[in-house]
Amino acid sequence: MAEAFRIGKHKVFRIEEWQGGFSPPEALFAEFDADIFAEEAASFEPDFMRNGLIYGYLQSWLIDTGSERILVDTGAGNAKDRPGIPIFGNLDSDFLNRLAQAGFSPGDIDKVYCTHLHIDHVGWNTQLVEGGWQPTFPNATYYLPQIDELAWNPAKDQYASMAGAGVNANVFEDSVAPIIDAGMAVLIEDGYQIAPGMTAWLAPGHTPGQMVLEVENGGEVALFTGDVLHHPMQVIRPDWNSVYCEDRELAAKSRRKVLERAADARARIVPAHFGAPHSTFVERTAEGGFRPRYDAMGDPA
């Protein structure tokens, strides 16, 4: 499996777990407007729309610096009971084989970074071994947002008030708690540097503690954004949230912050669920908005 792109000298690989039609656009976007969407719909086919459904991916990103290998987000995982979102429940994917095709084994991963603690971003943190959930990447340190640990831990008070508690049922227990219990987790706050040139910063709203990983090397910048953006429509309309965003006003502010940063730094945005080419640059419009641009934009100004 060839590398997807580079950030300076860092090689980045895309490890796919799942792809398919996910939902009609009116069921995904909380602020959906049919007329506005229709103006853009043709440009989304076939990579982001198929047969009337938003077409998306579960995919992880592996950054190979030459001295460390950092895995960003870990998909949904196999053999996990997901009553709140059965499309991602009890999967039997060949994710680890695809990791091997890229040239890596689970033992090669030095660090795992989860942008937030939703079902489809932490699943391969663990795998089922002899009836129990064991860390998939035995030599890794796992970096998890501290605010999300407070929000999604069912043993803590905030969980019951979360709109996504039903969708996230069982997730903490099988994909987060085993990592913490094994002493392999570092709970991080805004501004934490997980490696040289790799800084996590808070981008809340989709979840209370979602964090972007900003990676800089050789004058190039990439933003691994998790679910700040689910779809390129949200580049065009950053005020459009997914129905899974906990705080929609805050999520829209975070989305605009990411787009502003990407435009200013000519940074590549690397979301978790985008269709081909799976990442994007952005450019400003004359009206003060943004448009996706899938080709490189040259050196930062």
Q: How far is the CA of 205 from the CAs of 80, 86, 269, in angstroms?
A: 26, 24, 18
Q: Which structural domains are found in the chain, ordered by start?
A: 5-293 (3.60.15.10)
Q: How far is the CA of 253 from the CAs of 25, 225, 232, 241, in angstroms?
A: 21, 14, 16, 10
Average pLDDT over residues 259-267: 98
Angle at CA 209, nearest 5°, toward 263 and 16?
70
Flag whether pLDDT at 300 surpasses 70.
Answer: no
Flag whether pLDDT at 298 surpasses 60.
Answer: no
Task: Assign 20 to helix, strand or coil.
Answer: strand
Terminal Cα-to-Cα distance of the chain (whole angstroms): 33
pLDDT on residue 269? 98
Flag whether pLDDT at 291 surpasses 90.
Answer: yes
* pLDDT per position as a tens digit, 195-231: 999 999 999 999 999 999 999 999 999 999 999 999 9
* pLDDT per position as a tens digit, 46-80: 999 999 999 999 999 999 999 999 999 999 999 99
Structure tokens at 113: 């970074």
Neighbours of 37 (CB within 10 A): 18
Flag whether pLDDT at 250 surpasses 90.
Answer: yes
If phi > 0 it is left, if psi is from -120 to 50 it is alpha, else beta; for residue 266 that is: left
* pLDDT per position as a tens digit, 252-262: 999 999 999 99
pLDDT on residue 297? 59
pLDDT confidence bin for 295, thresholds 50/70/90: confident
Flag whether pLDDT at 1 surpasses 90.
Answer: no
Task: Assign 61 to helix, strand or coil.
Answer: strand
Residues 19 and 25 sit within 8 Å (Cβ to Cβ) = no
pLDDT on residue 301? 36
Q: Is 255 exposed, middle or buried (0-12, 13-18, 19+ CB in 10 A)?
A: buried
- How far apart CA 269 and CA 18 sit, in angstroms, is 20
* pLDDT over 90 percentage in the chain: 97
Sort strands 220-226 and 111-113 into parallel, antiparallel or unpaired: unpaired
